[in-house]
Amino acid sequence: MMDRISRWLSQGAMFLSAAGLVAMMLIICWQVFARYVLHAAPAWTEQSALYLMLWFIIFAAAAGVRESFHIRLSLLQDTSPPGRRKAMRLFCHGVVGVFAGYMLVAGGQLVAATWQHDIPTLGLPRGSAYLPIPISGAMIVFFCIEHILTEWQGREVEPLWN
């Protein structure tokens, strides 16, 4: 059950990230066209591109934790004996999980503190731009728990592309 939920969350995060990247590219193309061809750049394009970038980068990072394509240094881990290697992986997943828990709590506080402020050119609450921080923090905590449980059982989390 946990595996199905995890795979669904990861797939959704990657889909949202890809859609956000495509939307940001289209917005920037429109901005360049409007500025240099129409000589009238719309005010909303830059802020909306930044807004989308916050969303898709944070969700891609969450999927990266589940799919193990996030940046990490594993030289020490890879050259260690098997017992120590397992302990190091468990420790690393625990550290990432604690950091993600902080993202969840502090990100939620940031969203609450900035919700009353508007993004002038978009008319959206500023807190909505930071909403992916606590959401992806919760997802990463879930993914870390999955990694720890499967590692403890001597298995690995199967990536989506297998």
Task: Show me where the domains of the chain are located.
Answer: 2-152
At 75, the amino acid letter reads: L
- Which pLDDT tens digit goes with each residue over 103-118? 999 999 999 999 999 9
Q: By the 8 A CB rule, do 134 and 111 touch? A: yes
pLDDT at residue 77, as a whole number: 77
E strand or H helix at 125: strand 124-125
pLDDT at residue 9, as a whole number: 95
- Which pLDDT tens digit goes with each residue over 45-91? 999 999 999 999 999 999 999 998 877 767 777 788 888 888 888 99
**Dihedral-angle region of residue 37 (phi above 0 means left; psi in -120 to 50 means alpha; beta otherwise):** alpha
E strand or H helix at 62: helix 44-67
Greater model confidence, 153 or 162: 153
Average pLDDT over residues 115-142: 96
For 143, half-sphere exposure in the C-beta direction (CA atoms, 13 angstrom radius) is 30
pLDDT at residue 154, as a whole number: 84
The SS3 assignment for 9 reads helix
What is the DSSP code (8-state) at residue 117?
Answer: S
User: How far, in Å, CA of 58 to CA of 50, rounded?
Assistant: 12
pLDDT at residue 109, as a whole number: 98
Residue 162 has pLDDT above 80, yes or no: no
- Which pLDDT tens digit goes with each residue over 4-51? 999 999 999 999 999 999 999 999 999 999 999 999 989 999 999 999
